Structure 1
Amino acid sequence: MSDSCQRNGGRTGHAHRMDRNFRFGVVGESIRSGAELAGTARRAEDLGYDVLVLRDHFVTEPFGDQLAPMVALASAASVTGELRLGTMVLANDYRHPVMLAKEAATLDHLSGGRFELGIGAGWMREEYEAAGMPFDQAGVRVGRLEESLRILRSLLAGHKTTFTGEHYRVEGLTVFPPPERRPPLVVGAGSRRMLGVAGRHADTVGILPRALPDGTISDEITERLPETIARKVAWVREAAEAADGRDVELSMMVTPSFGPDPRAAAAKVAVTRGWGASSTDLVLDMPSQFVGPPEHVAEQMLARRDRYGFTYYQVPDAAMEEFAPVIPLLAG
């Protein structure tokens, strides 16, 4: 394979900074109309959130009907001033990387440099089959994603790009409009190979439970335990260090459970998720679970920044108002 994609100006620095500031995002997963989109975007900005992200699904399950993310984010950009706008995450197989680079460059331009491009390998078999798209084995989908990331990094950095790979070939292309700086690349990943790809190519890595061969996401409790998350973080760090020593931002989607008593809130989560009340102590230790009053949630986030390095959390839009009091406790 030949590849003249150049390594671009990604962030440099030590591979694990403990002093990185927190960021908070809203996942606009219940938005069904233009009015709801504008209202959620403005409200997120008013509440102090940093980012609005949209999912990438064209079937109703599992999050309900979704607006097309790139078009919707352009609309959200027009009614906000500071809020960053991202995808969490696009399925790579749904768009050719050259066309995606063009859309990303345009959206970044229209938003005044506020776009963050989140992308993954695609995981939902049912969706592929509904559209008549081949749902290739995970190894093929991940290999295609890695090639796509190399092309996107190069084009969005303003480089004239030539690439020859197993899945894509690009001959001397540039992208217009040329970004003033490359939009950050965000990759969601749960398996070892995907976490390595993310560490090598992404600025932000969303740590997820692993996708299963049957086209679903694992609901195993072991995927959410501290030792599993620590191992996944280590795989990302190792890959980033081996690539170019970049400082990678670590991200996670969370649904906090608020209440005066952290233990009672954790017990409720354990039962609701089907893990049983006996798993309450496990829930209290899970890096993806935040329970109790806002002050306790903020303390948990500080502790987990120190232990794992997580500094960017997204909450569902349904939890946007309830989570907002945590933001000023961790600002700056």
Structure 2
Amino acid sequence: MAITAALVKELRDSTGAGMMDAKKALTETDGDMEAAVDWLRTKGLAKAAKKSGRTAAEGLVAVAVEGNKGVAVEVNSETDFVGKNADFQAMVGKIANAATGVSTVEELVEADLGGKTVATTITDAIATIGENMSVRRMATLEGETVVSYIHNSVTDGMGKIGVLVALNGADNGIGKQIAMHVAAVNPASLSEADLDASVVEKEKQVQMDIARESGKPEAVIEKMIVGRMKKYMSEVTLLNQSFVVNPDLTVEAAAKDAGVEVTGFVRLEVGEGIEVEKEDFAAEVAKAAQG
């Protein structure tokens, strides 16, 4: 029987299994949907799929640099405890290394990891460790020099916050200092030119509304807005921020004094932007008792 994309999608939707696992299950069972579900269960993949609905907001960010390219990858788990697991850490490190050869998360999950895809490796780990896991996102950065930094490191190259900084020029230590600044301050963009125009316009409108509350003439307000927007840019853009190592200098000026130019950065923090549903202890106990 021909294994169509529609069949693979149907099996994925019903079990939560990965695309390659669903396709293999259908191939092994000659397209029999019920048999394919049983095949996934016998391989422990259905068990893993049952966990796929649970929120994975913990885990690790790993960084890797190869030549002029750096990558940062976030691999999530349900609990911080798993992030301290040596097997999980080893898997995340291998995934980060595999990421240096691809450009997107979609390519990464299909990349080879010792004879298995990253997706299959993750699924096997879910079945073994018993928690939902996922490769949530990755980011790449290229430059003449790429420097990496991990904040709250649990082991070499991975922790809670991963930063990459690209420089023109040879790094003499300033790269790590700037990466530490990025980890601490979390700038919105490299420069004003990189900021989302809609975000800038919204901030400008807010500042204008605030200024108008003062009752000053429009001509005065326009001059006030120039100063306020300049202050805003100094707060949210990396190059214009006061350098945490030497607040008397901007990051751009500090880099220039060190003989380099900052051309880009990446910052990934574990769980950033994930909403986690929280229950109080009494509710959790009651829920467990009912189940």
TM-score computed with the length of structure 1 as normaliser: 0.23
- Point out the structure with the larger helix share: 2
Q: Which structure has the highest strand share of the two?
A: 2
Q: Which protein is bigger by CA-based radius of gyration? A: 2
Tell me the TM-score normalized by structure 2.
0.25
